[in-house]
Amino acid sequence: MGRLSMTLGSILLVMALASSQDLPTVYEYYTEGGITSGLETGSNQFILNGKDITLYSGSIHYYRVVPEYWRDRLKRMRAAGLNAIETYVPWNLHEPKMGVFDFGQGGNDFSRLLDIRQFLQIAQEEDLLVILRPGPYICAEWEFGGLPSWLLRYPDIKVRTSDPIFVGHVRQYLDQLMAQVVDLQFTSGGPIIAVQIENEYGAFGEPTEIKDRVYLGAIRDAYVENGIRELLFTCDTPANSSDTGALPGYLQMANFNTDPEIQFELLKELQPGMPLMSMEYWTGWFDHWFESQHNFGNTPENFARYLQTIFNYNASVNFYMFHGGSAFGFMNGANVFDFFPNYAADVSSYDYGAPLSEAGDYTEKYTRAQELIALDNKVQTLTPSPPPQNPKTAYPAVTMQEFITYDQIIQQIPTELVIQIGSVTNMEALDINDGNGQAYGLVVYRSQIDLSTTAQLQITGRIRDVAMVVVDGEQKTKRPASQLALLGFGYWTQENSTFLLEGAAAGTNTLDVIVENWGRNNFGQPSDFDQRKGLYGELAVDGVALNDITAIPLEFKSSWVQGLTGWQTLAGGEALSGPLLLRTTFSITGAPTDTFLDMSAWSKGSIFVNGFHLGRFFHLGPLRTNYIPAPLLKEGLNEIIVFEHYLPADQLQFTDTPILE
């Protein structure tokens, strides 16, 4: 009997495997017999090419994941039972200069992250449909919500409105973007089934006021006139702003992290008989620097409970995020508030407490989502098994080997970037980069003064966002000890601030006020989108306005960082102080793996791995680690350069586990 049942069991198992292998893929199922129609709204149900479909979609931003890992992450998403993915599109990276576009071949630092066509094609190869959200405003905890900073060169521009200057640039960009994706629509045999118009537009302005539909219509026209035929829609939180951000005639979807019934009941009232979808079911949450601890967002239990409620409504879902990835370089966004601390920059990790971690690891939310989707999904398709976790290594600590002083850094700024501006002006207004200004990084406002006696530095207006004062190459400001430091000199919280300059050597002294753009706000009211960075009031010493100012941008472009010369060997034991650059190399035997840098012992700054600007670090956290995906490393010698604002550590520590705190 035992033997017989074993055999029977084996036969049944073989049959089950055979039948699961006979299952169609998502594309086979929905394109069987040819494609005659795309995604449509039926009665309380989406229909794709004539068949009912519930969308199980997950957000992943291609520009937050190194391209070598796109397929890896997409496989994991498909293995969870997802039949679709969703991505925003970052205008600021795709049009780095006005009228200059980059879809992967632009030769810019992040060009490797920008081949959207390749990403969409891989998604299709991995049997996933695609929901595209081009914005052009994307929020996303991304620099300026994805808007290019050069828009701020127009003094009175009204972003996210039908202001002709803004809409003109939107149209120019969308024409280029749509040309990239038009043949990747579902009805042309590609993956794109739906395209979003703007983003949470109901949250922009008074919740009850109907928003600028001329602007929404202009985005719709840009899609349609460029040949987009798939389903168009908007998304908002109905309980906050009802349908004031929607465009009549187009489906509205709901964004939330709790209480789906509240949002869905409102959607049903607003759009009777229409299919329900959560376009952003927030799986977790994000962190700001200075926060005392990591925000986990929904616990796995609540995450599963609300997901089940979504399914009980027969609704479709897009998990925002399913895989968050990282905000590389200076690409983090920020929030502004009416209350202290008024502004808060987002950390470089976009782990988001999502089902797949920043490094692509499975979490409890992954298992919960996988189980609930399997129970809800009535369309059986061939689902791959989840790929194994990627290995992680805590490489041995490496000692910093060389440094470049602040003065040497400044000397190596290309002369075409250094401008006499007279009095201070914001970084976007600087006449550099072919008339596009400075987009990201820090800007030095330099003046020559006589500091033989103590004097008072006065800054009129606000600092955007953090200022360091350096006299004759020497750091005069201290690293913040706690959030309370924000009440003192050097931060955005203060309007009209002063700093005591102690008497220095007689003669002419070089006074530098270095102002860091810590990331532009990505969400809020129209007035919150005035995100000019640097200084734009007045800089004075003892009441006398400085009018001999030179602006020196510190953009930290990869080619510049990699071309730096004058590295001096560290003997060890030097009392180094920032701002400065430190460099080290270390060797990896065999294929590199993923790893994390634990920056707890450092203060504040940026990390460059083999020239790639990984992101920022800050000693007050909550984030402690910066994720290094293996493809940024290589077998043999690797180089890491750190820009440190205040106090450097003498080593770099690696860990195999993220510390989000």
Ligand X SMILES: *[C@@H]1O[C@H](CO)[C@@H](O)[C@H](O)[C@H]1NC(C)=O
Give the active site residues.
Answer: 200, 280
493 counts as binding ligand X under rule CB under 6 A? no
Q: State in angstroms the smallest separation of the CB of 237 from ligand X.
A: 4
Q: State in angstroms the smallest separation of the CB of 494 from ligand X.
A: 9
237 counts as binding ligand X under rule CB under 6 A? yes
- Tokens found for residue 355: 């089902």
Q: Which helix (H) or strand (E) holds 15?
A: helix 2-22
460 counts as binding ligand X under rule CB under 6 A? yes
Cα separation of 639 and 115, whole Å? 26
Edge-to-edge strand list for the sheet holding 595-598: 398-399, 651-655, 595-598, 625-628
Which residue minimizes CB distance to ligand X?
203
Nearest to ligand X of 24, 537 (CB atom): 537
Using alpha carbons, list the distances in angstroms from residue 641 to 329, 403, 566, 600, 601. 13, 9, 14, 16, 16
Nearest to ligand X of 314, 453 (CB atom): 314
Cα separation of 246 and 213, whole Å? 8
The burial of 143, by beta-carbon neighbours within 10 Å (0-12 exposed, 13-18 middle, 19 or more buried), is given as: buried
Q: State in angstroms the smallest separation of the CB of 353 from ligand X.
A: 17
88 counts as binding ligand X under rule CB under 6 A? no
Q: State in angstroms the smallest separation of the CB of 314 from ligand X.
A: 4
Binding residue (CB under 6 A) for ligand X from 176, 187, 240, 585:
240
Q: State in angstroms the smallest separation of the CB of 357 from ligand X.
A: 24
Q: Which residues contact 620 (CB under 8 A, 6 or more apart)?
A: 289, 290, 480, 482, 483
259 counts as binding ligand X under rule CB under 6 A? no
255 counts as binding ligand X under rule CB under 6 A? yes
618 closest CA partner among 458, 523, 455, 486: 486
475 closest CA partner among 457, 501, 505: 501
Nearest to ligand X of 496, 657 (CB atom): 496
CA diameter of the chain = 101
Please give the single-letter amino acid code of residue 88: Y
Q: State in angstroms the smallest separation of the CB of 308 from ligand X.
A: 12
Please give the single-letter amino acid code of residue 15: M
Nearest to ligand X of 169, 520 (CB atom): 520
465 counts as binding ligand X under rule CB under 6 A? no
203 counts as binding ligand X under rule CB under 6 A? yes
225 counts as binding ligand X under rule CB under 6 A? no
559 closest CA partner among 517, 519, 518, 613: 613
Residue with structure tokens 């753009």? Answer: 517
Binding residue (CB under 6 A) for ligand X from 411, 496, 498, 508:
496
Residue ranges of alpha helices (H) inside 391-516 are 406-411
Binding residue (CB under 6 A) for ligand X from 63, 223, 313, 608:
313
286 counts as binding ligand X under rule CB under 6 A? no
Binding residue (CB under 6 A) for ligand X from 206, 221, 450, 495:
495
Nearest to ligand X of 329, 353 (CB atom): 353
Q: State in angstroms the smallest separation of the CB of 335 from ligand X.
A: 9
Q: What is the length of the chain? A: 661
Nearest to ligand X of 203, 317 (CB atom): 203
Cα separation of 160 and 168, whole Å? 12
Nearest to ligand X of 59, 436 (CB atom): 59
Buried b (16+ CB within 10 A) or exposed e, 595-619: bbbbbeebbbbbbbbbbbbbbbbbb
31 closest CA partner among 48, 54, 46: 48
Q: How many residues bind ligand X (CB under 6 A)?
A: 10
DSSP secondary structure letters along 224-289: HHTT--SEEEEEE-HHHHTTTTS-TTSEEEEEESS-HHHHHHHHHHHSTTPPPEEEEEE-S---BT
Cα separation of 439 and 149, whole Å? 6
Q: State in angstroms the smallest separation of the CB of 466 from ligand X.
A: 19
- Tokens found for residue 554: 């510190």
Binding residue (CB under 6 A) for ligand X from 314, 498, 547, 657:
314
Nearest to ligand X of 413, 545 (CB atom): 545
39 closest CA partner among 235, 202, 273, 228: 228
Binding track, positions 405-444, relative to ligand X; x by CB under 6 A:
----------------------------------------
Nearest to ligand X of 308, 408 (CB atom): 308
Q: State in angstroms the smallest separation of the CB of 211 from ligand X.
A: 12
| Residues at the interface with ligand X (CB under 6 A) | 200, 203, 237, 240, 255, 313-314, 460, 495-496
